[in-house]
Amino acid sequence: MSKVWIITKRELASFFDSLIAYVMIVLFLGLSGAFTWLFGSDVFFINQANMQVFFSIAFWSLFFFIPAITMRMIAEENKAGTIELLITKAVTDSQIVWGKFLACLLLVLIALACTFPYYITISQLGNIDDGAVIGGYLGLILLSASYISIGLFASSITQNQIVAFLAAIFIGVFFHFVFGVVSSSVRGFFGELFNYLSMSTHFESMSRGVVDSRDLIYFFSIIAIGVLLSQVALSKRNWQS
């Protein structure tokens, strides 16, 4: 665990050293803040003291931001050859992947923590459902963790950051959008299957304050599969080299 934490701290520090963290946080806060308070169906437009507007915007913005922060995590090290240096330090593929996973997740948690003033402000406008707020933030964390695992897998199968970004978007769009659209036009077993595979189905449930075991199993399954596939791709590349 200490080796995982060392990798996590190294990667998190590299985010802030290269300004990636600052750019990501500023863009995320700017985009989510603008649509929460100023444009579209903002808080004042719907005239309700809840954070559903913010959660719906964050649901889409994180979908694009996360591949941008994961695309370099393994692809860059594969291209530079520094991944071999990590392996010579008696660090396993699992520790490398989990360390990078936690670094990305901590960056997202910092960005989400910066939105806490939204909750404080909206709570002053009326009676806010704290359960829905907790469920919404939990949903965003699990959503982010799921896309981080997908992004790491995409980064582990290429040496090109742009290819890793596009691959993560391509895989993620099925969970984010396609499965939900297909489920609305298909009935029976397959309709239910595609509906279950849709990320929005589980996130929307949690953002309403309903935390179901099926939602947790869904998110943790995607995280586990993404991390496992990243480890397999990394170990295969190391074995071939």
- Rounded Cα gap, residues 118 and 36, in angstroms: 9
Domain count, the chain: 1
State the chain's mean pLDDT as an integer. 86
Residue 50 has pLDDT above 90, yes or no: no
Q: Which two tokens stand for residue 203?
A: 């996130």
Nearest alpha carbon to residue 145 among 73, 76, 206, 224: 224
Per-residue model confidence (pLDDT) at position 19 = 83
Which tens digits make up the pLDDT trace of 189-200? 888 999 999 999
- Buried b / exposed e across 200-216, counting CB within 10 Å, b at 16+? bbbbbbbbbbeeeeebe
- Rounded Cα gap, residues 172 and 150, in angstroms: 7
Which tens digits make up the pLDDT trace of 165-196? 999 999 999 999 899 889 888 888 888 999 99
Q: Which two tokens stand for residue 3?
A: 């080796």
Residue numbers of the domain that contains 231: 2-240
pTM of the model: 0.91
* pLDDT tier for residue 9 given thresholds of 50, 70 and 90: very high
Per-residue model confidence (pLDDT) at position 12 = 92
